[in-house]
Amino acid sequence: MPTPRETSLTALHARLSALPVTALRGDVLPERVPAAGLMILRDGEPGEPEVTLSPLRYHYQHRAEIEAVVQGTARDAAFDTLCASIGTALATDRTLGGLCDWVEADAPRPVDLPVEGAASLKAAVITVVLHYSLADPLA
């Protein structure tokens, strides 16, 4: 049975997979970026939890990461559209169907990456913070 942490990450990946771009989880950057763009969800770090007693609960602010990448001549507009679609997908249900207390994304910091013999890539890591509580840090 998957842990609440894994269930939340799976739900986030499913939400991203509904967008009209390729959404991978934990994969390496492929040699070719699809025309619509590419997202790679990284599990990230749960960080140190805040602990409350009676009942014992561990409150996490898990920082997952989305690597967003576009390529092509209109990459600035495509990147902007990709980031906006991620924001809209998260705003649709900030609890991922009740799996998290709250989900929010940090603003991206885009960079242009030159590619020899091809159009450069525009990419950013978008941190998505999953707020959730567990009764056991290993659950």
Q: What is the CATH architecture assignment of 4-134?
A: 2-Layer Sandwich (3.30)
Q: Which structure tokens are listed for 41?
A: 């969800």
Whether 82 and 37 have beta carbons less than 8 Å apart is answered as yes
Long-range CB contact pairs, 42-47, < 8 A, 24+: 42/66, 42/67, 43/9, 44/127, 44/128, 46/5
CB atoms within 10 A of CB 115: 10
The ranges assigned to domains in the chain are 4-134
The type of residue at 89 is: A
Per residue in 77-135, pLDDT (tens digit) is 999 999 999 999 999 999 999 999 999 999 999 998 888 877 789 999 999 999 999 99
114 in helix, strand or coil? strand
Whether 105 and 88 have beta carbons less than 8 Å apart is answered as no
Per residue in 24-39, pLDDT (tens digit) is 999 998 888 898 899 9
pTM given for the model: 0.92
Whether 61 and 127 have beta carbons less than 8 Å apart is answered as no
